Amino acid sequence: MKTVAPVVIAALALTAASAFAADLKAAVESPDAKAILKKDALPAPTTYTMPKGCVSTDATVIARGAYIFHNLNGSKAKGDAPGGLAKKLADGEPKQYGNCVACHNIEKADGPGNIGPDLTSYKTHFMDSGVRTAAWVYQKIADARVDVPETHMTINLTNGLMNEQEVCDLVSYIISEK
């Protein structure tokens, strides 16, 4: 008995070790990293034509744009969502808004970040002087990569974070007199 025991133990240890090696191999090989990366990759940069009637001076449209600009998460968004804007998605999940204020200062911004340019007095500084058009601002918000391939902006229309109307609400807000 005394001479057999170490052999049995060694055999058991060997079996356990090879079983462990087999498991580890399976764990490393089973997730297809390439497929996961492909699924998570953003669709290619897309050029958009601003829809007809996109820019509006209607107070509700501008209020929606302001709401999207200054808020991140639908369930925690400040105040009631202005006309036609939902705080939740169809499946009940809180809607994510633009959180544009995290990177941009603008009129009445509360604790804005400065990763992006200051959008205060946008109409006077950029529109009236002809430096920017509404269509350009639309494209920037919809998919900034067309203009700046390595942009820090969120890609809002191409990845479905926003719909066309929400991009139009933001354009209307940014270029409005404030």
Q: How far is the CB of 116 from ligand HEC (least distance, A)?
A: 3
Residue in 17, 147, 159, 163 binding ligand HEC, rule: CB under 6 A: 147
Residue numbers 11-70 binding ligand HEC by CB under 6 A: 69
Inter-residue contact 59 to 83 (CB < 8 Å): no
**Degrees, nearest 5: CA angle 168-171-177:** 130
Residue in 72, 102, 109, 146 binding ligand HEC, rule: CB under 6 A: 102
First to last CA, the chain: 92
Segment contacting ligand HEC (CB under 6 A): 24-32, 76-84, 87-95, 101-109? 101-109
Distance separating alpha carbons of residues 93 and 36, to the nearest angstrom: 24
* Amino acid at residue number 128: D
Q: How far is the CB of 163 from ligand HEC (least distance, A)?
A: 13
Rounded to the nearest 10 degrees, how much is the dihedral formed by the CA atoms of 75, 78, 79, 81? -60
Q: Is 174 an interacting residue with respect to ligand HEC (CB under 6 A)?
A: yes
- Residues forming contacts to ligand HEC in the complex (CB under 6 A) are 69, 98-100, 102-104, 115-117, 119, 126, 132, 137, 140-141, 144, 147-148, 151-154, 156, 170, 174
